[in-house]
Amino acid sequence: MIYNLIGQPHSGKSTLSVHLKTVLDINNPSRKSFIIDGDFLRKILNNKDNSEIGRRDNVSKAYVIAKYLDADESHDVIIAVISPFLDLREEFKLTADVIEIYVHTKNIRGRENFHVENFEKPETNFIEIDTTDVDELTSLNELLNKIESKKNKENETDKE
């Protein structure tokens, strides 16, 4: 399974991804889980280009890596990148088993100059987590409940 945490910088994507990985590792030790984080991705790809072309390139590569790791369905992959472009995310959801998680906040955290002006909010088939004035554990529990609910709905649909 691929969990794609998207949203503005400093909304809580990386923090939630670390907690989600811990839960996945505890609940299913036979599966290996990986995090693809935006900061780490920019470092290993040596691409700090924040233009649309640079962002599209990094996001596309994150998605390819995630699909590779998930190919034999023995891994869980957690992506925590801004991923501002709706078209890339929608194409990704069509080509892989992805749960998209939109993480956002009204709080200004970190440095404001990292805000992405052209971020396109998700429109369909996503989980929303608002981290405004909520602690990490509350956000994690909300996320886990919504993931479970989404998986249950999908299983019911598959049975029909």
Q: Number of structural domains, the chain?
A: 1
Stated pTM of the model: 0.92
pLDDT at residue 127, as a whole number: 98
Strand, helix or coil for residue 110: coil
Residue 58, domain extent: 2-159
CB within 8 Å of 24: residues ≥ 6 apart: 31, 33, 76, 78
% of residues, the chain, pLDDT over 90 = 69
Residue 127 sits in a domain whose CATH number is 3.40.50.300
Q: What is the pLDDT of residues 53-79, one digit of tens each?
A: 988 999 999 999 999 999 988 899 999
Q: What is the pLDDT of residues 116-140, one digit of tens each?
A: 888 999 999 999 999 999 999 999 9
